[in-house]
Structure 1
Amino acid sequence: MITIEPLDVERDLDVLHAWVTHPRSVYWMMQGASRADVRDEYDGIVANPHHHAWLGRVDGRPTFLAETYDPAHSPLAGLPEIADGDLGMHVLVAPPVGQPEPGLTTRVFTAVMAHCFADPSVRRVVVEPDVRNAAIRAKNAAAGFVELREVPLEAKTAMLSACTRAAFAAATGADHLTPDLMDRAQRHLVAKALGELTHERLVAPSPVPGEERWRVVAGPSSYAFTARRHLLDHWVVDPGSIERVRDGVPAAPDAQELIAELAPTLGIPDQLLPTYLEEIAATLAAGAWKLRHRRVPVARLVDAGYQEIESAMTEGHPAFVANNGRIGFGLDDYRAYAPETGAPVRLHWVAARRDLSRLSLAADGTEQALYDGELAPEVRGRFARRLQVLGLDPSDYLYLPVHPWQWQHKLAITFAPDVARRDLVHLGEGDDDHHPQQSIRTFFNGSRPERHYVKTALAIQNMGFVRGLSPAYMAATPAINDWVASVVHADDELRGCGFEVLREVAAVGYTGDAFHRTAEPSPYRKMIAALWRESPVPRTPPGEQLTTMAALLHRDADGDALVTAWIKASPVDAATWVRAYLRAYLRPLVHCLHAYDLAFMPHGENLLLRLRDHVPVGAFMKDIGEEVAVMGDLPLPAEVERIRGTFPDDVKALAVHTDVLDGVLRFVAAILDDDGVLPEAEFWAIARATIEEHAADHPELAEAAARYDLLRPEFRHSCLNRLQLRNTLQMVDLTDQAESLIFAGTLANPVAVTP
């Protein structure tokens, strides 16, 4: 975090003197100044109403000096280029102690410029660097400055330069797309691709003779690297170690080129390869943006709030290589709506004609209670007046929240006839600020955290799907959630583990469009719908910290792991911490499987952990309606029957083997092992003991435990990237997900009972 405050000369004199007299600060022109000289200079600036000095901090540490001044009261006064609304600026970044931090100067420069333009009266920022200072002139140009002319000043020949608001916005809108940042993003993604494609047995690294390195050959290129190997065929490739050679010549690692080179091996259909490469490019762009703008150290997250942690997540799905595609978003959309930007979003609302729409509610809900809870009386009054002004009766309509992007790019264009005939009426923005979650189309209410999450349809292509919502499919969502919640809430074992579900309590969708009259279903039938999910905030006890479980897989830009920091901040040792975590996560999922044949999709983004004293004490499972399955003959209400599936026992067991052990715990185990916190053999022994202890506590479930056989020596290796590579537009059929699975042999089970 970068902060800027007025300079306190007495307090800051020591660092100030060290900075301005350092040999690297030669262009500050105070090389031989004494402490008294520096004090006099900055006392004079502080006393000058036309000149101001500022101390800048990065994560609380003094890091830079900035000055702003009125050019009309400076040596630039009288120059014909100087105009009303100009603000002069100087900036000095502290000389580094040890290794320079990549990108720091650019981040500081951008923050100082934003500080200047925070005053609405400022139209341009003016600078006058020494003409010999090529480095700062290049930095100025990158920020949008235009060099006007050389100007002779008392102690230097200056290059007078100016930057307008528009030029700064245009230049910094893509300030993350630099060679250095893109190289880091490329190396990170290439390392992930090599590791995950090896895990899925799409490539097979061979040892480099005489070296502790591995090599993958991809068409005309070869990639040599070091890697740490873990159980479950998990490879952690060191990004900095990657050396690429193409046609015998060293070349920079490039994720798009790697995929193109491996395309015949990966089995990507020719017609879909460009789409997948576009998703790779978008993932790289997002990676570079996060390196520039989201350098949040894990130390700040150890005690952070739920939404601060949520927006600090930088990896996305841990297994998918192309996991930040978001095809359809432009750069402005990314900055406005991507969860990692942390920008608040005001949802738009439309009125949908009641007889062309459907609202489904939980058993304990009513339409009146839903809208009373989600919309303030003044907002509902405003919406009603909007309809009445158009000669419409508000009672003929349902209110439906929509993503701002969806209104702008889809409803107002693709559904223009529906809007024109007043079957859909745009009501404008709501009053609450919402925060996009990692799933990108689900929003947390930042203004009123006790209010429901809102999940919206969003017609962008991301990670194997267009992110729409089907009104027909969602009609049963509240009933499904009611049934699952009734099972979970009535179970003593689950209550004892602190395991709960967040119900999706209402769903609304519009079906009056032409696309619902066609013979075949299409993504266009999934563009105008929303659902509401319970907030975890009212059910989180005081003194507990709420976090996405994805945080356990998070490393910051410096490579520090949040799970390691939490363990170190807790009052227990690593093994005890892991036991507590697996009691809150693994044990409830095993119990649901054995007791009810009930399976969730328990990846990191779908589960929230509750921590007390930094130790897990419970969990909330979410995203129930689309992801839950009953894989046995348990009686179900008619309206819930949709979630029943029939699968072989070894596929049923993948609800733990693939979704938990391979999909989540292999990453957590590797992080703790690599950080020297807990050896992976001990981690997996604790996981095995968690399953065994559940079996011992529930002899009545012995038959189910034997049938699922979670401790078997090996299990089928279900692969995620293979699904996306086969069809990046729709990687699975949501109505029959098991039939879409792709297997690559078996994996040795890390929790297997050893002979």
Structure 2
Amino acid sequence: MTIRPLDLGRDADRLHAWVTTPRARYWQMEGWSVEQVREAYAQIDARDDHDAWVGEVDGRPTFLVETYDPAGSELADLPEIARGDLGMHVLVAPAEHPVPGTTTEVMRAVMELCVGPLGALRVVVEPDVRNDAIHAKNALAGIRVQRAVPLAGKTALLGVVAAHEYRTSELGRRTLLAHLRPDVAERAHRHVAAKALGELTHEHLITSEMEADGRYVVTTPSGARWSFAATRHALEHWRVDPASVEHDSGPVDAQLLLSQLAPVLGIPEHLRSVYLEEIASTIASLCHKWTHQRRTSAELVDADFQDVEQAMSEGHPAFVANNGRIGFGVLDHARYAPESGAPVRLEWLAARRSLTHLALGGDLTEERLYREELGEGVIEGFRAHLTALGEDPDDYVWLPVHPWQMEHKIAVTFAPDLARRDLVHLGAGEQHYRAQQSIRTFYPMERESRYVKTACAIQNMGFLRGLSPAYMRVTPAINEWVLDTLDGDPVLTSCGFTVLPEVASIGYTGDAYHQLGTRTAHTKMVAALWRDHPAPLLAPGERLATLAGTLHRDRDGVSLLGEWIRASTVDPEQWVRALLRAYVRPVVHCLRVHRMAFMPHSENLVLVLGPDHVPARAIMKDIGEEVAYLGSGPLPEDVERVRMADDVELTAQSFFTDVMDGVLRYVAEILADDGLLAGDDFWALVRACVAETVRDGGPVAADLALDRATFAHSCLNRLQLRNTLQMVDLSDQASSLTYVGELVNPIADA
């Protein structure tokens, strides 16, 4: 089946025959002439918010589809209508020889059009109450009837289905694996193989030799040859062209490449299959994104914060296996993965107060936190539920839980806690969220309440994604210390740098696993934190966008960075200067003056773009788990956890690893390969920004010498390959790092 736009030049007579038959009586066009039908659909064609389509089966026109924005229709004033809704009508033409199942497959194809290329968050229908046939098909697609509504010429049954609900419906389940097609998988294999060849060469795990024709070759221990074309950039960065990758003995297979390279990658034998599983999951994720995510970089230029977040197709830019998500099933992916864009309602537990630690920052109170996050009605419902069980509601606090965690871990791994009612399941809250790229962090959809970060015990990129109650206990205190330390700093104020504070945290420790006295994955399964919403920090006309957007290329290879620059009012050099002032300047200043290191990779930093699409400033987030203090000054007792060694070299290295090698080398590649700004010119701008920051920041105890000739090369894939289950000891991260040689510093003092 294929669906194409209606062409009145060739479809008018056929369309007239379809809509005037008795079968189409609910379309209210019986007795219309060809010209009347043509005129009606010409008016639809002229509108931006209404489209008509013709579906073909084996090349034969078979069905009619209309899609429309309900906000421009009779439905506009109904309280059930929301932003992101798409209205839909479908009509299957009479067939001389009907084929059983055709109408069901048509419905599937139409729903795929709506939630796929057309990007509907929800599909809305309003068929005549008497149209039993379409009601049955709607039910197959998971469409839930809301109520009967009077419309022009009919009484309609208003029905709604969210995209993720369709995916898990009887009809949608048939398409859960639709993205795993040979053509899409081939592209994904090439993409991952290209990343592997580039990043593993960058980390000196493999050697790429240039041949006479200008192509590069990697020879595996078994003698297999992999060849490719690449552009090379500063910091020994390789951008391998996925389309150029060739294997001497068969199709390009990323798992085969890494399997053949396994003897030289340092993966323990018992973990090699685990790593290959993460590679398979990364390939599956790419296939899903490229099949269902069709928003181009040009379309993302004016998109809102969460739409940009949803569109990101890459995980951490350096890691080859960056979308592992081991533990997520295909239905979980449809429900909870950030790229699905599905609205999620968090589950809530009542956790016995005496066994749970709730930490609050500033003047935030428990009563205010829950009132703002849940609402009085939900809280009263929770209290009534506990009372009905014979429990005193005042003996409990409320703890948000990822729905996956509730189903797969809490209900089983913590069954004894639930049975003795130290934990009580309360059900889902009313607020809807959408998952961010970190998988376990949720962004509120309906109102400007707080982010919620939850534990989610899936294996992803070298870690089981839990949350430690011990870590969460001091999170608000750490955030307050950061805010107090940076408050009033004139350099940070001048570039508008702010921190998004984590204002509350909660962790349950009444389980048997905590009684063992050893920190394990099991002691990181029932905890959460709340982070302030960034919207109140915006001025009129400003928008939020993840820093990851500067590294994003859409499915056709077009960079969002390039589209932002082209849409702006400035040239590439001015745009980059603004980016560096918003991002690099505050990070360097905090290291030099405050000896405070953030983890400023592309997911942890939010850019604020002005109305002219130029970076205005930056907001740092994910503070409690990531910030480090590398000085010798006194710290509050609750903040001592963030102290690392008083080491000038380690302080400087955090900039070289996390900013230079972790972000800027990719920005430089995109600018150069897209013909926007040459590599030398880009690094000259970085050098100038760092020098200006050093000059403006005044004297410090020790110079970090960020303009030195070389710096130690910290290798991230080597960490993951060494232990795919836990690549870093979070209690002593510095000693976990792996260095191989030196990188020539592109901002060295000439």
Normalised by the shorter chain, which TM-score bucket? Answer: 0.7 to 0.9
- Residue number in structure 1 paired with 2:397: 398
Shift of 1:39: 3.0
Instruction: Determine the structure 1 residue equivalent to 2:73.
Output: none
Q: Partner of 1:385 in structure 2? A: 384
Q: For residue 635 of structure 1, give the secondary structure of its aligned residue in structure 2.
A: coil
The range that moved more, 64-73 or 438-447, is 64-73
Alignment of 1:56-67 (within 5 A): 64-66=53-55, 67=63
Counterpart amino acid of residue 201 in structure 1: H
Tell me, yes or no, if the aligned pair for 2:607 and 2:619 is still in contact at 8 Å: yes
* Contact 2:491–2:697, Cα closer than 8 Å, also in 1: no
- With 568-577 and 345-354 compared, the bigger mean Cα shift is at 568-577
Q: Displacement, 1:298?
A: 1.0
Equivalent residue for 2:176? 173
What is the correspondence of 1:525-544 to structure 2 with a 5 Å cutoff? 525-544=523-542
2: CA distance, partners of 1:515 / 1:234: 44
Aligned to 2:483: 485
1:192 aligns to 2:195 (yes or no): yes
Q: 1:404 to 1:104 in 2, by over 3 A?
A: closer
Residue 730 of structure 2 aligns to a residue whose secondary structure is coil
Matched, 1:731 2:727: yes
Give SS of 2:398's match. strand
Q: Residues 504 and 531 of structure 1 are in contact (CA less than 8 Å); yes or no, is this contact kept in structure 2? A: yes
Pairing of 1:55-94 with structure 2 (within 5 A): 64-66=53-55, 67-68=63-64, 74-76=94-96, 89=106
Deviation for aligned residue 1:120: 8.6
**C-alpha distance 165-188 of structure 1, shift in aligned 2 (>3 A):** closer
Counterpart-to-counterpart distance in 1, 2:674 and 2:168:
45
For residues 605 and 367 of structure 1, what CA distance do their matches in structure 2 show?
29
One-letter amino acid of the counterpart of residue 743, structure 1 = Y
In the TM superposition, what whole-angstrom CA distance separates every residue of 1:253-311 from its partner, at most 9, and x where no partner exists?
A: 11111111111100100011111111110001001111100121111111111111110
Alignment-derived partner of residue 643 in structure 1: 642
Distance of 1:88 and 1:259 partners within structure 2: 39
**CA distance 1:440–1:240, shift in 2 (3 Å):** same
- Equivalent in 232, 235, 238 of residue 229 of structure 1: 232
Deviation at 1:545, TM superposition (A): 1.0
**Correspondences of 1:562-573 after superposition (within 5 Å):** 562-573=560-571
Superposed displacement of residue 43, structure 1: 2.9
Correspondences of 1:95-494 after superposition (within 5 Å) = 121-122=133-134, 168-209=171-212, 211-218=213-220, 219-246=222-249, 251-448=250-447, 450-494=448-492
Deviates more, 1:214-223 or 1:188-197: 214-223
C-alpha contact 1:283 1:322 (8 A) present in aligned 2: yes
* CA deviations over 1:167-222 (Å, ceiling 9, x no partner): 7433311001111110000000000110110111101100122x010000122421
1:31 corresponding residue in structure 2: none
Cα distance between partner residues in 1 of 2:170 and 2:428: 29
Question: Which structure 2 segments of 5+ residues have no match?
Answer: 28-36, 56-62, 66-89, 139-166
> Secondary structure of 2:740's match?
strand
TM alignment of 1:544-623, pairs within 5 A: 544-612=542-610, 613-623=612-622
Q: Please state how far the C-alpha of 1:89 moved relative to its aligned partner.
A: 4.8
Counterpart AA for 1:675: D
- Whether the aligned pair in 1 keeps the contact of 2:18 and 2:94 (CA below 8 Å) is no
Q: Distance in 2 between matches of 1:3 and 1:370?
A: 49
Q: What SS does the aligned partner of 1:604 have?
A: coil
Equivalent-residue separation in structure 2 for 1:109 and 1:369 (angstroms): 40
Q: Distance in 2 between matches of 1:478 and 1:233?
A: 40
Query: Take 2:229 and 2:95, find their aligned partners in 1: how far apart are those partners?
Result: 57
The answer on whether the counterparts of 1:481 and 1:505 sit within 8 Å (CA) in structure 2 is yes
Q: In angstroms, what is the RMSD of aligned CA positions?
A: 3.2
C-alpha separation in 2, matches of 1:513 and 1:491: 44
Task: Give me the whole-angstrom Cα distance separating, in 2, the residues matched to 1:577 and 1:190.
Answer: 32
**CA distance 1:91–1:495, shift in 2 (3 Å):** closer
Structure 1 residue 358 displacement after superposition = 0.5
Q: Report the 3-state secondary structure (helix = DSSP H, G, I; strand = E; otherwise coil) of the residue aligned with 1:571.
A: coil
- Sort the Cα spacing of 1:61 and 1:634 in 2 relative to 1 into closer, same or farther, 3 A: farther
* Amino acid across the alignment from 2:234: L
Q: How far off is 1:64 after superposition? A: 5.0
Pick the aligned partner of 2:19 from 46, 64, 67: 46
- 2-side partners of 1:91 and 1:474: how far apart? 45
Aligned counterparts of 1:89 and 1:642: Cα–Cα separation in 2: 59
Alignment CA distance shift 1:89-1:742 (3 Å): closer
Please tell me the residue identity of whatever aligns with 1:596: H
User: Which residue is equivalent to 2:161?
Assistant: none
Cα separation, 2, equivalents of 1:3 and 1:623: 44
Amino acid at match of 1:269: P
TM-score (norm 1): 0.83
| Contact persistence 1:444–1:454 (CA under 8 A) | yes
Secondary structure at the aligned position of 1:458 is classed as coil
In 2, Cα distance between the equivalents of 1:177 and 1:532?
A: 37
Deviation of 1:90 (Å): 10
- Contact 2:631–2:647 (8 Å) recurs in 1: no
- Residue 473 (structure 1) shift: 1.7
Q: TM-score, normalised by structure 2?
A: 0.84
In structure 1, give the amino acid aligned to 2:237.
H
- Kindly indicate whether the alpha-carbon contact (under 8 Å) linking 1:56 and 1:65 is maintained by their aligned counterparts in 2: no
CA deviation profile, 1:374-424 (whole Å, cap 9, x unmatched): 111111111111111111111000000000000000111010010011110
Once the two structures are superposed, residues 92-124 of structure 1 have per-residue CA deviations (whole angstroms, 9 ceiling, x without a partner) of 99xxxxxxxxx999967999xx99999995488
> 1:627 is paired with a residue of what secondary structure?
coil
| Contact 1:64 1:91 (8 Å CA) reproduced | no
Distance 1:71 1:682 in 2: 58
Paired residues, what number? Answer: 667
Q: Which residue in 2 is equivalent to 1:672?
A: 671
| 1:300-326 per-position Cα deviation (integer Å, ceiling 9, x unaligned) | 111111111110111111001101001
Matched, 1:496 2:494: yes
Aligned to 2:744: 748
Partner of 1:515: 513
Show structure 1 runs of 5+ residues with no match: 21-37, 94-102, 127-163
Identity of aligned residues (%): 50
SS in 2 for 1:412: helix
Query: 1:72 & 1:234 partners in 2: Cα distance?
Result: 54
Counterparts of 2:92 and 2:652 in 1: how far apart (Å)? 75
Q: Which amino acid aligns with 2:352?
A: R
Provide the C-alpha distance between the structure 1 equivalents of 2:49 and 2:261, rounded to a whole number of angstroms: 46
- Structure 1 residues 315 and 388, CA gap change in structure 2 (3 angstroms): same
Query: Could you say what secondary structure the match of 1:323 adopts?
Result: coil
Amino acid at match of 1:367: E
Deviations 1:557-601 (A, max 9, x none): 111111111111111111111111111110101110111111000
What do the CA deviations read for 1:228-250 (whole angstroms, capped 9, x no partner)? Answer: 0000011000000111013xxxx
The answer to whether the Cα contact below 8 Å between 2:593 and 2:697 also exists between their aligned partners in 1 is no
CA contact (8 A) 1:315 1:554 kept: yes
User: CA shift at 1:466, angstroms?
Assistant: 0.5
Q: How many Å separate the matches in 2 of 1:453 and 1:635?
A: 31
Map Cα deviations across residues 465-507 of structure 1 (whole Å, 9 max, x no partner): 1000111121111000000011222211101111000111111
